[in-house]
Amino acid sequence: MPWQQLFSPQARLPVAGLEEWYASLLERVGNPTPLQLALLGGRLAATPGLAFLAGYQGALRALWPAAPWTLGALCVTENRSTRPADMNTRINALTLDGRKDFVTAAEAADWLLVAAREDATGVSVQLALGVVRSGAPGVQIETLPALPLMPDISHGRLHLQGAQCERLPGDGWDDYVKPFRTLEDTHVLAALTAWLIGVGQESVWTQALQLRLLGLLAGCVEVARQCPNSASGHLLLAGLFAQFDSLRAELDSAFAAGDAHWAQLWQRDKGLLAIAGSARGKRLQKAQAVLGITL
């Protein structure tokens, strides 16, 4: 890991359009691993939302190592559900039809991973993952209004009509959608922690708080080495989120005592890690059952 680069004083990248910001990040960090992209992107981000974007892109590259270096997105949600049985988007040979209702950074994404059903009527649900390019025939992005949380990270709706795609090998659910939940949690936690470390250095937070954040970051590095579908990995990740939760009151106090700009950003976006809390709780329960332990 580029620890020295992470610890040394860094000039944050200027806030710009998402494509421009991400291109500037790649110019600064070179050819990083997925976790390095998350860590260094978070450290160089001016907002928690941009840190999230760096972590999200790192997770996508951990999921699909052959991904282009441009911005991408994973498209799963339909009608507020990610359950395969609730999906209507279909893949037929190499053609996609359907709609995805929540796509992160949709208007800036160059490529889109689309989860789609390929099962025949009357058989169990099977998912495939297809790749389409934004702007290609049959691929349309509908930009949606900004959300209160991370308003600087756009989102949109994807419409597909006879869109030609590349089908990725393997099972769409077991090999892609399911592990991505863990990869995203790990890389976004790492990116946000790196952002907090940068703010803490500039704001001269207590040494104890800064060291605890560094310890959390070291834990992210270890969890990133685990198989994202493993029970032990889910248990370790739950430990990291518990560690982060234990710092919330201290972080709130540190922000309240410092620069109003950072405090405002933190109050606005600090809930981003709580978004998938229910799913993490279920994974923890399953991990305990598999490992035969009770916490």
Query: What pLDDT does 275 receive?
Result: 85
Give, as one character, the DSSP assignment of residue 101. Answer: E
Where residue 4 falls among pLDDT bands split at 50, 70, 90?
Answer: confident
For the chain, the average pLDDT equals 95
Is residue 153 within 8 Å of 52, Cβ to Cβ? Answer: yes
Is residue 203 within 8 Å of 197, Cβ to Cβ? Answer: no
Is residue 1 within 8 Å of 151, Cβ to Cβ? Answer: no
Find, among 246, 217, 112, 230, the residue nearest to 179 by Cα: 230
5 pLDDT more than 90: no
The percent of residues in the chain predicted with pLDDT above 70, rounded, is 98
Q: What's the full length of the chain, in residues?
A: 295
Which pTM value belongs to this model?
A: 0.96
Query: What pLDDT does 41 receive?
Result: 97
The percent of residues in the chain predicted with pLDDT above 90, rounded, is 89
Query: What pLDDT does 121 receive?
Result: 59
Residue 112 pairs with which residues in a beta bridge? 73, 132
Q: What is the pLDDT of residues 117-169, one digit of tens each?
A: 997 656 688 999 999 999 999 999 999 999 999 999 999 999 999 999 999 99
Where residue 92 falls among pLDDT bands split at 50, 70, 90?
Answer: very high
Report helix, strand or coil for 115.
strand
248 pLDDT more than 80: yes
- The residues, any chain, with a CB within 8 Å of residue 192's CB and separated by 6 or more, are 42, 48, 51, 52, 55, 272, 273
Query: What pLDDT does 10 receive?
Result: 85
Query: What pLDDT does 286 receive?
Result: 93
Query: What pLDDT does 72 receive?
Result: 98
Q: What is the pLDDT of residues 190-245, one digit of tens each?
A: 999 999 999 999 999 999 999 999 999 999 999 999 999 999 999 999 999 999 99
> CATH says 81-167 is which class?
mainly beta
Query: What pLDDT does 120 receive?
Result: 67
Return the number of other C-beta atoms located less than 10 Å from residue 248's C-beta.
11
Mean pLDDT value across residues 14-41: 95
Instruction: Write down the domain spans for the chain.
Output: 3-63+175-291, 81-167
Q: What is the dihedral of CA 144, 150, 152, 158, to 10 degrees?
A: -30
CA distance 248 to 231: 26
1 pLDDT more than 80: no
> Token pair for residue 42?
């978070």
Query: What pLDDT does 8 receive?
Result: 85
